[in-house]
Amino acid sequence: MTDVDNFHLINDYWGYEMGTNILNFILKKLELFPQTLFVNRYHSDIFVGIIDITGQDPAVVREKISAYHKQAIREVLESYPLNYMTLNTGVYYLNDTDTPTEEVISHANIARRRAKETSTCVFEYNAELSSTEQKRAETIHSFQNALAKKEFQIYFQPKISGKTQEIASAEVLVRWLREDGTLWFPDSFLPILEETGEIESLDYYVYNAAFQWLADRRENGLPLLPLSLNVSPIHFRKIDTFTQRITQLLDHYQIPSKYLVFEITETTYIHNIDAVNQMIRFFHDRNIRISMDDFGSGYSSLNSLKDILFDEVKIDKHFLSAGLSEKGKIVLEEMFHLLKRTDKWIVCEGVETKEMVDFLIAEGCDELQGFYYYKPMEQKKFEELIA
């Protein structure tokens, strides 16, 4: 399956008549591709074709398609007043002629969408993509049922005081414990839920579980620790809904504000400055602290320091991911200096070695988080740790 990238821009600028002429031109070019058995315009600017590559090396086929792309594009640009055009092709190898047509088209279509992310603009459907798409479908279609069955479990990753080297607080994370007993980590399902918007429901589920945990410990006379909760970007499109839901949780559980920290990523802040500041004011009115997560991951960090309303800054773990080079130390030293002068509480994540610990403590890091101390752990283990 082949498409014309951003074809709507051609229609918008040159008109639908020229757009149609270009599509017909491309169709004729595709019909002339070697070993073509069938080509047709599927819909809009998407074409579907069948070619016979029996006995040919797939790598050679990819090169032929890529070369043909370039030839077809060159001829279109020579024949029409366009300055730029790109074709994307997804390939599915049909080894079993009993495979349902709908499945063949679906696989080729998925590969076509992935082709947009490659330098050659050609992508083959493969086992890895099949597995990814299967997991994607499973995530989308089973999420609500899993939420109702409480398959999502909150995990805790302790944060250590730079001064006392004792557990000072914890970040609340989430894992998906499937019915079959397999444990899914956030990287495998959170991006999908963010894309579909379902992350909103999961966030409220996690918030409720965290508030409930604090309330249960208070009721049983057990010590409390501040918990950090992540705020997904989707909430900044629905500020009123978010503030209403958080207000309901605060009113219901009556958790003292000193035990709550909400984390917002720097990237989210950069793209939603007004909405984030509105949310921060909402939290500050209730004496709840706000942390800027992944500080330093964007390009406006220094510029934003003078204006941000955050109480806490969480240094992006990539500053520590490759160890501590001399230049890396200099950058962190200057960053710490600026943050301390602007009265920000400093947290560092991704702490994995004694060298990192010694350096960060010497520079005045308030809290440290990482595998050197603890990995994220399930609720029972965390409770045993802080007992």
Classify strands 87-91 and 122-124 as parallel, antiparallel or unpaired.
parallel
- Structural contact between residues 158 and 385, judged by C-beta atoms closer than 8 angstroms: yes
Classify strands 260-265 and 312-315 as parallel, antiparallel or unpaired.
unpaired
Band (342; pLDDT cuts 50, 70, 90):
confident
Residue 153 phi, psi (nearest 5): -115, 135
Instruction: Delineate the domains of the chain, giving CATH numbers in brackets.
Output: 2-125 (3.30.70.270), 148-386 (3.20.20.450)
SS3 sequence of the chain: CEEECCHHHHHHHHCHHHHHHHHHHHHHHHHCCCCEEEEEEEECCEEEEEECCCCCCHHHHHHHHHHHHHHHHHHHHHHCCCCCCCEEEEECCCCCCCCCHHHHHHHHHHHHHHHCCCCCCEEECCHHHHHHHHHHHHHHHHHHHHHHCCCEEEEEEEEEECCCCCEEEEEEEEEEECCCCCEECHHHHHHHHHHHCCHHHHHHHHHHHHHHHHHHHHHCCCCCCCEEEECCHHHHHCHHHHHHHHHHHHHHHCCCHHHEEEEEEHHHHHHCHHHHHHHHHHHHCCCCEEEEEEECCCCCHHHHHCCCCCCEEEECCHHHHCCCCHHHHHHHHHHHHHHHHCCCEEEEECCCCHHHHHHHHHCCCCEEECCCCCCCEEHHHHHHHHC
Average pLDDT over residues 169-190: 96
- Structural contact between residues 350 and 370, judged by C-beta atoms closer than 8 angstroms: yes
Position 303 scores a pLDDT of 62
Q: What CA–CA distance (Å, rounded) separates 70 from 144?
A: 45
pLDDT tens digits along 106-158: 999 999 999 999 999 999 999 898 888 889 999 999 999 999 999 999 999 99
Average pLDDT of every residue of the chain: 92
Q: Give the burial class of 32: count Cβ atoms within 10 A of its Cβ; 0-12 exposed, 13-18 middle, 19 or more buried.
A: exposed
Average pLDDT over residues 334-359: 92
Query: Does the pTM of the predicted model rise above 0.75?
Result: yes
pLDDT tens digits along 215-245: 999 999 999 999 999 999 999 999 999 999 9
pLDDT tens digits along 298-340: 655 566 666 678 999 999 888 887 677 888 889 899 889 988 9
